[in-house]
A = this chain, B = another copy of it.
Amino acid sequence: MRTIDIMGKNAKQASRQLAVAGEKKNEALRAIAEALIKNTELIMQANSVDLENGEKNGLSASLIDRLRLDEKRIKGIADGVLEVAALPDPIGTVISGSTRPNGLEITKVRVPIGVIGMIFESRPNVTVDAAVLCLKSGNAVILRGGKEAISSNKCLASIMQDALEKAGLDRNSIQLIEDTSRQSSIELMELTEYLDVLIPRGGKGLIRAVVENAKVPVIETGAGNCHVYVDDSADINMAADIIYNAKTSRPSVCNAIETILVHEAVAEKALPVIKARLDEKNVELHGCEKTAAILGSSVIPADESDWETEYLDYKLAVRVVSSLDEAIAHITKYSTGHSECIVTGSYKNAKIFTSSIDSAAVYVNASTRFTDGGMFGLGAEIGISTQKLHARGPMGLNELTSMKFIIEGDGQIR
């Protein structure tokens, strides 16, 4: 039997206990938070191995920074675990119910999904964040992190497993694949016998590889080619504020914008105001011909690839459009279905935009940066789904659950 099959089997078994574990899950979460703090030194030691290897292998400074765990960050991770412990338990929630004319009482209740696989990249905090959300929602999890963080991940996983045991739960509720070869990742994607769903979390390349190769069901997350459309009735200063915030407050995240569309009737007035704000952060503009005609030679000529690109950087594509319809058509063609915004003073145009745009989050007069489980009031999130089945947008605890029907009778037959 392959290691992955043993892990799958053990996860399935642990998931049965977890499904009915109730308050024990919170005890385990609190034990995990405590153990993380208590083992801060140990974690930092394990992390230093990853940092050394990272420097040896020439990782960029920003990647090294994402990899780093210090006392403050470990405290932050532990606090996050306590926040999850404090959230209401989704399992057992009655979603709906009815008594049928024949007297059958039908109740639809929330249950765990079962066994969740997570594939992610370098940040070791994801190991804990993902594991505790799965635990809280009653699911066993098999984690497959990136090789850059393997020493930290092994340490974190082992601390969590000990804490699970301390709380009387199966330590196989949280398992880490220690082999970081490509093969181990493929094996997880094909583990149809044991895995109920696989959630990739990371860059476009990782997500594409998972979607293309997985034989288990996948929830696609993260790709965000997001847009702001500035309507002819827009408050131009509001538009500039929103664009500045959505582009520059954190360019590397999926809810940052990549293209703005500006109605031609306001382009001459709005574009210089917008550019002035973006210049504060030296944002590079890739514009259409009309944009260049208004803003001058600093604009890099945009082509098809600019409309398609998720820059994740201080770069922004700009296109002047002749109508709301043209803006909607552009977004429909190029969006990844994550978050889009209209800045408008027109009630009618706001309604047309929100009903026509087919994305997880559609904004009127607010920054796309709000697409986030915490900001939406859903609690911690495990990712942002850009697909339409099962979950769309920020995925909180409810999105890590399934449901079942319980039907109670006194001998009814059909």
User: Which residues from chain A sit less than 8 Å from chain B, CB to CB?
Assistant: 16, 19-20, 98, 100, 104, 106, 111, 113-114, 196-197, 212, 215, 217, 219, 235, 238, 241-242, 244-246, 249, 332, 350, 354-356, 358-367, 369-371, 375-377, 387-390, 392-393, 402-414
Contacts and interface: CB of A to CB of B under 8 A. Distances in A.
Nearest to A214: B215
Chain copies in complex: 2
A407 B364 contact: yes
A360 B414 contact: no
B365 A414 contact: no
A356 B404 CA distance: 11
Given A104-B366, A242-B411, A410-B365, A113 B404 contact: no
A235 to B, nearest CB: 7
B16 A332 contact: yes
B402 A393 contact: no
Interface hub of A362, A390, A404 (most chain B Cβ within 10 A): A404
A111 B408 CA distance: 32
Given A377-B98, A412-B367, A404 B362 contact: yes
B104 A408 contact: no
Nearest to A351: B406
Contacts of A412: 365-367, 370
A404 B393 CA distance: 7
A20 B370 CA distance: 26
B16 A389 contact: no
15 contacts: A16-B356, A100-B377, A106-B376, A196-B389, A217-B387, A238-B411, A241-B413, A249-B413, A249-B414, A361-B407, A366-B407, A366-B408, A370-B412, A388-B402, A393-B403
